[in-house]
Structure 1
Amino acid sequence: MNTPRPEVGLITADPTPTLLGLLDVLGVDSIVIDAEQTGITAAQCTDAVQRLAGSGVRVGVRVPELRDDCLLTFANTGADELVLPRVRSVSELEAAYRATRFPPLGERPRQVSRASRYGTEYTHVPVLSVLFETVEAVDAVREFAAHELFAGGWIGPTDLVDDLGRHDRAGELDARVQDVIDVVAGAGHPIGLPAPSAARAGEVHARGASRSAIYWEREVTATLRALVAARGTEAQGSAQL
């Protein structure tokens, strides 16, 4: 069984050219573009894929929803990975697989797109990662991990704690997160978890997860907050002179 190597990447809903260029220069492992309820379009995702082509930075997209046409649209961007939100059952993973695979494995049309090298090569298909953020998904983690189509996942603790709360199980968050990590990693699959900050990314790996992701906007906010605080400290020091 191969153990995935630890990775660090970003999650963002703001894939600007500057940010994408920095990822290329610095050699960051991956970026997940959040297109769920953010207004990010498939065209923006295609642009990110094109800008990072050949860089070694893997591009993932958290898709807006699990409808076949939505999955197909984002698969056609050429993204390396599609993160599937609000998954509740293995049957939804199976349906997503059929929608994003060319015949005979699936039902995906052979469209001229970035993913097909504009109609010249129909071999690229995205990895499908389950986002464990529902009670049903975490309760079925062993079924997912043993399924032949399962290729790994991410944990969404913010939405998961809300869903656990709706089932009067909010106190189980830490245990359920650890269970998903242990089961998925134990089966040899990659499993990712958001880190509290860039400085604490190692805490995710210490729990056994192979992928640590930092929310870019949250990290920028923390940096700007520190700058504002420093300005206030300098002003106070000047007043005392």
Structure 2
Amino acid sequence: MTSQALERNVGIITADPTPTLLALLARTGVGFLVLDAEQTGITVQQCSDVVQRLAGSGVRVAVRVPDLKNDTILAFANTGVAEIVLPQVRTLDELERAFEATRYAPHGSRPRQVTPASGFGTDYSFAPVVTVLFETVEAVERVKEFVDSEAFGGGWVGPTDLAADLLRHGEQGAEALQEAVQRVVDVVSGAGSSIGLPAPGIASAAEVFNRGADRCAVYWEKEVASLLAGFADLGAA
């Protein structure tokens, strides 16, 4: 597959998947939802509930897991989520261990448990895509290694954490960050794999696609806060 063949998608990231939000997503045809379970308190049970509520809606559900421990990754994979996003990745070994944890034998070490992901014990053919969140200098430097691995299911870029990690490595400023982000986008998209970027808001989605990404994610809480601030400004005018 070439990068040009990848479908452009816009979705949201949230740490607060309320029933109303999920109902709206199911009705409006948003491409995907990323649950942010990293340092937010979102549980495996909440993730499972979201997957079940959006089943059949066409909304693809992904989850950014709290950590890279095998048990954590397996627990979220068992919810039936379509994509596992790995945060703070630094080595190819971390990706490949996560991939193995989400695959049944003979391709991995995943137990054949009765879970939503296995159709409650009736189908052990489903496994989530495993994607890398490029937010460390080490991951950016090894982007070609990741892309060449059979475990690589695509990527995301986390500019905020990446900027902080660049600073820790003695690199700072918008130019260094933009160069790192563009390197990841170019290598991943050039290999025909999916790569996603966050946008400040829905209105900025086109800028993400112009950079070569095929997925654009907007932080839902930030978008709502911006909308409400606009209402407040209208009232004060």
- Coarse TM-score class (shorter-chain normalised): over 0.9
1:231 is displaced (CA, Å) by 1.5
Alignment of 1:69-218 (within 5 A): 69-171=71-173, 172-218=176-222
The CA distance in 1 between the partners of 2:6 and 2:171, in whole Å, is 31
1:29 matched residue in structure 2 = 31
**Identical columns (%):** 59
Q: CA deviation at 1:151?
A: 1.4
* Greater Cα radius of gyration, structure 1 or 2: 1
Residue 111 of structure 1 aligns to a residue in which SS? coil
2: CA distance, partners of 1:54 / 1:6: 20
**CA distances 1:90-149 after superposition (whole Å, capped 9, x unpaired):** 111110011111111111111111101111111111100100000000010111111222
Question: Superposition RMSD on alpha carbons, in Å?
Answer: 0.8
Distance 1:52 1:109 in 2: 25
What is the CA distance between 1:169 and its match in structure 2?
A: 1.1
Q: Give the number of aligned pairs.
A: 233
TM-score (norm 1): 0.95
| Cα distance in 2 for residues equivalent to 1:120 and 1:68 | 24
How far the C-alpha of 1:170 sits from its partner, in A, is 2.0
CA distance in 2 between counterparts of 1:49 and 1:163 reads 32
Q: Deviations over 1:75-103 (max 9, x none)?
A: 01100000000000111111001111111
Measure how far apart 1:4 and its partner are. Answer: 0.9
TM-score, normalization: structure 2? 0.97
Give the CA deviation at 1:228.
1.3
Equivalent-residue separation in structure 2 for 1:4 and 1:152 (angstroms)? 11
| Ranges in structure 1 where 5+ consecutive residues have no aligned partner | 234-241
4+ aligned runs moved over 2 Å, structure 1? none
